[in-house]
Structure 1
């Protein structure tokens, strides 16, 4: 098998910035034909409800039922799926779910609680945190099944206190994945429908005769799902518009090259547009990793996808130092960031932008995908500069609490009135002044 033609870049080369920009380039624009088709599907679902959902499910998934109710999975069916998987799979699901739940319970304590205080004059100010009433989680199906996505979307919603969690998952030709359904059982999903695509997003956003309307839609999907989520935003909330998966490894040369090569593979095997990049100040180590890539690739079942990803969007970058590697990492703002070094805590303070940071040689990104505890739904395509992982806070909203005492009104009233008159809003000013003692 021929060597993998992955880019080799060096930060001390004259054209590095130009090559680096080319490496980073990825268009998030959806194909116009997809946009038009999704718009038509959403309009049809909004207009015809269940009938449209049934029609598109039959057309795209070759899977039909007399009614949408026939596409709903009962809690008993989810339990039966849980019982049908192997004992090892049950143990793995339950162990992963417990770790994910525990992490998000700590997150709830840290940032998801209401609070209030009183001023010296008795005015009460605070924040009331309440969970969303109903959320929809989209779980991909078809080419692959993702029970981990069920856990990562449903469990933080459950911990947040969401009243009802509605799952949609495509089942092409009616083939149901037992592990996905078992994960839904373990994660406490309340209702589940075997529908997918833009029609499923539309059903959740607008509601149909059978599928309830939700307040927010979360979860990954293909280009049609991403386009549909973008279009229904405003009718409902969404978590994010995810791009191709990414991994960036910062290495000092101390980790076995085979480990790092396999970590690069772990993202490249998702799809041809996934991106895997290694930054290292040791040129000899980069050569070792290249050799490990060439040696290990023939053993991978998805070697064609991995090769296409590495050759199309991957890179091995020689840096002047680990400090420079950290600076470049901040420019990329990767979804997954591994710090594969002897002393990862030395570099962690320098890293400001990443969806998740994996510290140390033993912390493979795959552990975070499945069972470490933190959420694996992460910002991509540089959006980690301003976005966060999916979490409890995505399934809550905040209301401000204000209770002004009589004494407080005497202090705040003149301030508000002065500013209101300055804005030309007399009613605002007079509403405040009426409460002043004469």
Structure 2
């Protein structure tokens, strides 16, 4: 067998790995089939990287507003269609273990709390609660099922090699005992409010999503709140309602961050504005950010503060709408670029933010762009760096990891190495997790 050609996770994407779909027209929410319009195309300059840009969303959320304000190009390219690369919506994401862990904990808490409330349990330590948990299979079994669902979402991802997926699956399964402890800790501190009343009012959200109803007395895990006039929505981890008002709890698996307070205040605005979920106009009793080891109560905004927040949201959405309709999404470079999922497609990042190899310290990880000049050995290649013009020796993990001679590439995730016998030499080491994107043209 000859040497392996460059594939997605070890180089240029093979369009067969993710399937190939012809460009499709989109149907924005609330439009008829006859009103479909051709999406705007954006050339990223990367092979198989032609992006069909999304329209603005029917409803904005805290996360979508934050993302488009941080970098409009990241927002647009993350949500665009790539018909030459794969058949799914959005740019394929490289899985982040910490993010998957957070989703597993959230998903397990939702499943368990929903079952406990349905059974009328008032405490996670009661005999009834123990019986419910036993029926569910226990904390670990619930977490395992949620993890399996999360991993299934990676099927067909052209940026994920089978080797990398196996390593990720193994690491996350090894983490499950720790997940069990986290889930149990959250539930031990939780005060349940069973007895949610049957729905008395129903409505359908803009865009034709699931029917919504009033949030009556009791606990409501993963409850969506919608401010239709503001075109704003949010999903509350745990909404607890009694005769006096609503407790809003947001589970956070990472460290404390001031933005968590902003998100909870936005949820407070959604609750008092959502006339479907909150038909009686109940106030917010408490806003709680729940971390693995403790809870932080965030001050509930008063009426004046809520009015100010509403005006602020209106202005932010108006600005976001203007940005979202741009033919060329603006790229904002900064510290966030280093962890951006679409940085490989962003020319501004590569021309202004990506460092030259000579500027990178020994052992640090970085990205580099250049033209592959020649093969240097069984597992090494010489690349002429685009910005500096210097030659860089690129070492690959296996002989089958081939780079395309004479073509310009972008390398994501290289490690700088200094040769003690020749400190002036420029060396970059790739691993099985490195990606090589070939530029078109």
* TM-score, normalised by the number of residues in structure 2: 0.23
Comparing both chains, which one has the higher relative contact order based on Cα–Cα distances under 8 Å and sequence gaps of 6 or more?
1
* TM-score, normalised by the number of residues in structure 1: 0.23
Q: Which is richer in helix?
A: 1
Q: Which is richer in strand?
A: 2
